[in-house]
Chains A and B, each alone.
Chain A
Amino acid sequence: MNLAWVLTLGALLFSIGIYGVIARRNAVLVLMSIELMLNAVNINLVAFGAWFQDRAAVGQIFALFVIAVAAAEVGIGLAIVLMIFRNRETINVDEMDLLKW
């Protein structure tokens, strides 16, 4: 297996995630972009775990942890988005700028 290809895939996914987080206006899409970034990390973990032929499978275990944490995070994130929508009838992140000077 060629490690470089897999890492390139991870980096691409991560960059797409960053783009989504910075540029999208829909809060749900921002959350999904964050998931993309986390999954890019998972790919890197698993890839390195395989590359080092790690018997204890630490990379895979960490990936499972990241998945669990990501699930919890997206749960809370979606709840916040829901609450914002109920109060302000919008999920456009450009309009959520109350915490400023």
Chain B
Amino acid sequence: MVATLAQAAETIAKTTGSWPTEHAWIIPALPFAAFAIILFFGKRLPKKGAEVGILAVAGSLAMAIAILLSDFVGGHGPVVEKQLNWFPYGGRGFHLGLGMKIDGLASVMFVVVTLVALMVQIYSTAYMHSDKRYTWYYAALNLFTGSMLNLVIANNLIQLLIGWELVGICSYLLIGHWWEEKENSNAAIKAFITTKTGDVPFLIGIFVLFAATKTFNITAITKLVEGGHISHLTLTAAAILLFGGAIGKSAQFPLHVWLPDAMAGPTPVSALIHAATMVTAGVFLLARLFPVFAHSPEALNEVALIGAFTMLMAALLAMVQDDIKRVLAYSTVSQLAYMMAALGIGAPNAAIFHLFTHAFFKALLFLGAGSLIHAVHSNNMSDMGGLKRNMPTTYRTFLLGSLALAGIPPLAGFWSKDEILTEAYRFGTNSGTAHGTPTVALIVYGAGIVTAFLTAFYMSRAVHLTFEGEYRGKGHPHESPQSMTVPLVILAVLSVVGGFAGFPGWQKGFGAWVGVAGETHVPSASIPLILISVGVAIGGILLGRRLYLPAPANEPLERLGPFYRLLQRKFYIDDFYMGAIVRPVRDMVSRAMYWVNQHVLDGLVNGAAAGARATAKGLYSVVDQKVIDGAVNGAGIGTRRGGGFLKYLQGGDVQRYAAYLFAGVAIFAFLFTRFG
């Protein structure tokens, strides 16, 4: 019954779009092709492969913009779905395939991914200039971009999973790009294993959905869920398991520990993978499968509460970091939690809107931080200070990014953050239709307001410590080259204007383009709520300015006492994992495994080998030498002797041949007449 319905849903006629939309597969194909070209020919090219990557991603960006403009900006676009069949499964006419599902959500993600990837690749030409694995770096960047686009374009969960795991691998490779230092390769391994911890429930969740719907096709699954054909319990189980994958990939509590360590990678990689694109894959997944979550209030509440908790926790941790990249990393965790919370209260469009604006200003902030690190050769803000005189472009763009993140109108971050807060308040006070529980929405609102204050405070701290006061580092820092500042300027412009896409009350704004799960509700702004959120943001900035403007000798937050130590130790979460999971596994389980390996497995392997050798010897001397060789030689000798006798039949006497022929005819004639 369910399978038949799924089949029907899969064959529903799809609407058609413009030329770029119909050929959207080119978008992921270009970076994949660039990856192969750079890998095989990169070192022989004049720019060591960078030009191939930049051209390919620029092509993808052009396609992505064409799709967004032609079909989606200003209203409900088509849903285009196509697929190349790969192999059949389930025996009911389903085919697993390489497919594409282009709708508003995918088109927006295309633009975000390709735009940030292009900026990062241009920026990297200078930042990674004398790196010894420069060509490989570009190959990996392009592999990442292609994989991420494949994740976005996928129309079935298996293809999505392939992209999901490929971006994980690329993240591992790029975090460990400078693997000569043990710390970096440890960070890469930590990131990989932590996200894998989430991927196991994710995989099981996919199988639960498959068991219930008999299909991997996303459209068919959402249709079945919306039709109410799947039991509530199954949906809740599937949603919570799928959310496990999102927790790992999007660095939510309790699997957030990998993201700050991932800053060991090159800074442009942090901007691309660990801020703007890959870590948003979890948010994207939840939006893609939003109907599954929307039909299970329990799962939605879990998402919202995890989001609310993570945003607060990460914002608190961001306050005490000295490494500027770690400040931004915790800020990313916190902002991703905003998106998760928005999904959890049932406002997916607001979540994707925040994803969209966040990608621009967070990529800008990371690239700005990279520019600073490039100049002072240190990640620590205690080695910076007074840089606004030396690096004016970096200062101006970084300041814009910080204000956007803090949520100061009219910058991009204000609109999206405010939309999430407004929706949370509306759902919480029951003046809107919530998917989840109103209390949960109110908790999200409260956590969001406090986080907004903390966000403004830690960004104010970072800006004052790096740009104001006197320079505390070594050498004479100077502004970065144009190939680094131009991407900064472009991203700064987008951080200023990007938010107007979702201007509150604009009926054909961002929410209408994206329309996650058919949701096209346009939020309206409320002046009191805006005043509250802008008020706390300005309060945070002013507090930061008061504490840090003359750069203090001692960290003022140390006055918090034990709480400061708690933050410094990252709530002891990393220590807990180290003590409760990593050490026992490494010291006890691994030792036991080693013993088993040495004594049991090696014994088995050696025994098997010795047995195999003895058997082989016996086989050689008896079976091979006597039987097989005998048979072969016997066949040869027999044939030669037989031929020696039979050859006399061919005596050259034609009349004898004729006699045989007639005799044969006579015999056959006799046989046919007697028995035929």
Contact = CB atoms under 8 A, between A and B. Distances in A.
B648 A18 contact: no
A21 B652 contact: no
Interface string A59-101: 0000000000000000000000000000000000110111111
Contacts of A98: 652
28 contacts: A21-B655, A21-B658, A22-B655, A22-B658, A22-B659, A22-B662, A23-B655, A30-B655, A93-B653, A93-B654, A93-B655, A94-B653, A96-B652, A96-B654, A97-B651, A97-B652, A97-B653, A98-B652, A99-B652, A100-B650, A100-B651, A100-B652, A100-B653, A101-B647, A101-B648, A101-B650, A101-B651, A101-B652
Contacts of A96: 652, 654
Interface of B: 647-648, 650-655, 658-659, 662
B652 A18 contact: no
Given A18-B662, A93-B654, 11 more contacts: A22-B659, A94-B653, A96-B652, A96-B654, A98-B652, A100-B650, A100-B651, A100-B652, A101-B648, A101-B651, A101-B652
A66 B648 CA distance: 35
A77 to B, nearest CB: 12
Interface in A1-43: 18, 21-23, 30
Contacts, number: 29
Contacts of A100: 650-653
Contacts of B659: 22
Contacts of A93: 653-655
A11 to B, nearest CB: 12
Contacts of A30: 655
A30 B651 CA distance: 19
Nearest to B644: A101
A21 B655 CA distance: 7
Contacts of A101: 647-648, 650-652
Nearest to A27: B654
A4 to B, nearest CB: 16
A59 B569 CA distance: 114
A30 B650 CA distance: 20
Q: Which 5 A-B pairs have the closest CB atoms?
A: A100-B652, A97-B652, A101-B647, A22-B659, A99-B652
A25 to B, nearest CB: 9
Contacts of B651: 97, 100-101
Contacts of B650: 100-101
A101 B653 CA distance: 11
Contacts of B658: 21-22
Nearest to B643: A101
B665 to A, nearest CB: 10
Contacts of B647: 101
A81 to B, nearest CB: 13
B239 to A, nearest CB: 86
A97 B655 CA distance: 10
Contacts of B662: 18, 22
Contacts of B652: 96-101
Contacts of B648: 101
Contacts of A94: 653
A30 B653 CA distance: 13
A98 B652 CA distance: 6
Contacts of B655: 21-23, 30, 93
A101 B659 CA distance: 19
A32 to B, nearest CB: 14
Nearest to B659: A22
A75 B594 CA distance: 95
A21 B653 CA distance: 12
A43 B655 CA distance: 25
Nearest to B655: A22
A21 B656 CA distance: 10
B642 to A, nearest CB: 14
A57 B26 CA distance: 77
A84 B662 CA distance: 26
A23 B651 CA distance: 16
A99 to B, nearest CB: 5
Nearest to A99: B652
A12 B647 CA distance: 35
Contacts of B653: 93-94, 97, 100
Contacts of A97: 651-653
Contacts of B654: 93, 96
Nearest to B662: A18
A30 B662 CA distance: 15
Nearest to A15: B662
A97 B658 CA distance: 14
A23 B653 CA distance: 12
Nearest to A30: B655
Nearest to A21: B658
B517 to A, nearest CB: 85
A47 to B, nearest CB: 19
A101 B646 CA distance: 10
Contacts of A22: 655, 658-659, 662
